[in-house]
Structure 1
Amino acid sequence: MVQFENEVAVVTGGGSGIGRATAEAFAREGARVVVSDVDVEGGEETVSRIEENGGVAIFVEADVTDEDAVAAMVETAVSEYGRLDFACNNAGIGGAQKPTADLSFDEWERTIDVNLHGVWRSMRYEIPAMLDGDGGVIVNMSSILGRVGFENASAYVTAKHGLLGLTKTAAIEYAQKGIRVNAVCPGFIDTPLLSEGGLDEPEARTGIESLHPMNRLGSVDEVASAVVWLCSDGASFTTGEALTVDGGYTSR
């Protein structure tokens, strides 16, 4: 028995990692999925994987720093499937790994633009589409670094902290209008993003694993499961929440 039959989900950053796992999880639950990414090959591969397993999906190329592209992404979901029920705003970048004072303005601005402004741009179009229908659920992908600091990642940390404020505020604004807005805060997850900061090197990986009391990295499926639960009827009284999926990282 699937729980999202005939419902529609948009997943940004759906071409790999957490986004791909989330798109596939929505499809397994019966949702029709709009997979969005700047990575055309990766996004189309996600769609193929969904279709091979009997699901329904389409790919829309969209850069979340481009407002017209974001608008087109949501418009495609509505025109293709008639509605928008769920959105997982997952697109993000790690950004430059440098001490705060060594970051260039462009490095700072790029990280904030993708990871924070990109989610806001997406919500600007997702929310009206949901209001035109039967409401919906938005899940924004934050991070444990939206809760704590981390050396050489000030722009990323700032964006992810800001994302939690955006999530809580929107949750209050639309709580009586049929839209729930939550966030997920993953610990370090085994994804391609890990390599951007050199954290996939064996010694670095072991060190990162040891920061989690479970002494391992999380899996993309573990995060996708959290997203799906937040969108389910089981989370019907949950809004404004930042659900931490971190193997105990922030419990220390």
Structure 2
Amino acid sequence: MIEVGWDQLQLWVSAFFWPFCRLLAFFMSDPILGHKNVSSQVKVGLAMLLAFLLTPNLPPMPDIALFSWAGLGVIVEQVLIGVTLGMVMRITLAVVEMAGEICGMQMGLAFASFFSADTSTNSQVLSRFLSLVTILMFLALDGHLMVLELLSSTFVRLPVGQVSFDPRAWNAVARHGSTIFLTGLLLALPMVGALLIINLAMGILNRVAPQLTVFSVGFPATLSVGLLLLMVLVGDLGQFLAGLLYRTLEFMEVLIEHMGRR
């Protein structure tokens, strides 16, 4: 008869529970795999499934009691790792959303907004459109599989209970947030430049011919030119998004190396 003691049972549970905490924290913070339209039950079920599949192949877990202060520290450690990696993906999606906000304001679509469940705020229709295109591109490039592979490798490169966080890792995440403005403005720059020239021209025409009202002519002109430029932009959008997603994965690799340094 096989007897299972409390210590052995606690060891089995901790070998599953700690990886589950890291996976669940990532799915809750990731804007694509953990989209708000996906129910919490599905996220928990997916995290449990992946933890169950990964547990037999993971390095030995630390000899720490699950129900102890040290065990609570390990749980916090796993949550921080998962949330940090998910935040990097959220920054990537925010780049495209900001570009859509800038282009929409220049086109005169600032009033065309609706409630977005992703951010719990009102978002412009153009920003929502570019966000959906980015998610579809991410799935088409098998980005979700790459991210899951990278996430599973963190259990070897960042063993449970043996992570010594380097302050440079948090500094790198903070600096990576600047890509929201740099890359977002770079994506929106062609449309912003063209629409700015049109607005300047309409201002000059309004001064020359006051009867030519800006609202009756300028708004249809900027909207029509903006839609035309958007059609041209979509043609090269795939290459831009692919480069953005690959740079995000490369940054996640560097971030994991910083987090694992002792």
Please identify which structure carries the higher strand content: 1
- The higher radius of gyration belongs to 2
TM-score normalised by length of structure 1: 0.26
TM-score normalised by length of structure 2: 0.25
